[in-house]
């Protein structure tokens, strides 16, 4: 008899704990909402390529940087920006996962900003097929090259890939050969 009471008491305790910590839909049984506590990384995505590029903060900025090819367009961190000759007007043709992994588009969440040496009237945006907003300059969508590791790198210059060549962009908006 005593063992039946212990067993019954054990079941009652389990039922009580389950009810107190359950996953019901009532105000006391609902699981608490969780939010991530880790801060997002500010490290560039160059070291670990992904198939999608992250948009720059609202109003991504373009500047003029110096490279072995002369003055070129760069982002606010000094990373080189490229145009793709195969693009048609402001429409990007670099849409496959492989292309985007190697040539991430220069994305923004707001109106792009012209820094020193950049002609603000040549800045624009285009909506990509996935709904993200890509920065354009002189009507050309702009991209990074995944192998560029530091400001001034132009390792993507004149690479023929994904249907055409890729070039750095001059402050006038022309490709530099």
- pLDDT tens-digit readout, 19-76: 333 433 332 233 333 333 333 333 333 333 333 455 555 689 999 999 999 999 999 9
Mean pLDDT computed over 164-175: 98
Determine what percent of the chain is predicted with pLDDT higher than 90.
66
The whole model's pTM is what? 0.69
* pLDDT score recorded for residue 59: 86
pLDDT value at position 58? 67
Q: Where are the domains of the chain?
A: 61-176
Look at residue 171 and tell me whether its pLDDT is greater than 50: yes
3-state SS record for the chain: CHHHHHHHHHHHHHHHHHHHHCCCCCCCCCCCCCCCCCCCCCCCCCCCCCCCCCCECCCCEEEEEEECCEEEEEECCCCECEEECCCECCECCCCCHHHHHHCCECEECCCCEECCCCCHHHEEEEECCCCCEEEEECCEECECCCCCCCCCCCCCCCEEECCEEEEEECCCCCEEC
């Amino acid at each position: 008899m005593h063992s039946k009471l212990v067993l019954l008491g054990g079941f009652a305790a389990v039922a009580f704990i389950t009810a107190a910590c359950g996953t019901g839909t009532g105000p006391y049984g609902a699981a608490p909402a969780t939010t991530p506590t880790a801060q997002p990384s500010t490290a560039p995505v160059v070291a670990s390529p992904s198939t999608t590029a992250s948009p720059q903060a609202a109003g991504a900025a373009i500047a003029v940087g110096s490279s072995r090819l002369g003055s070129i367009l760069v982002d606010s961190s000094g990373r080189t920006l490229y145009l793709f000759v195969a693009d048609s007007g402001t429409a990007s043709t670099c849409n496959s996962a492989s292309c985007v992994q190697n040539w991430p588009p220069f994305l923004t969440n707001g109106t792009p900003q012209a820094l020193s040496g950049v002609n603000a009237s040549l800045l624009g945006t285009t909506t990509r097929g996935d709904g993200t907003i890509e920065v354009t300059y002189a009507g050309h969508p702009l991209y990074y090259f995944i192998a560029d590791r530091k400001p001034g790198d132009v390792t993507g210059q004149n690479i023929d890939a994904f249907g055409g060549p890729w070039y750095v962009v001059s402050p006038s908006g022309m490709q530099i050969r």
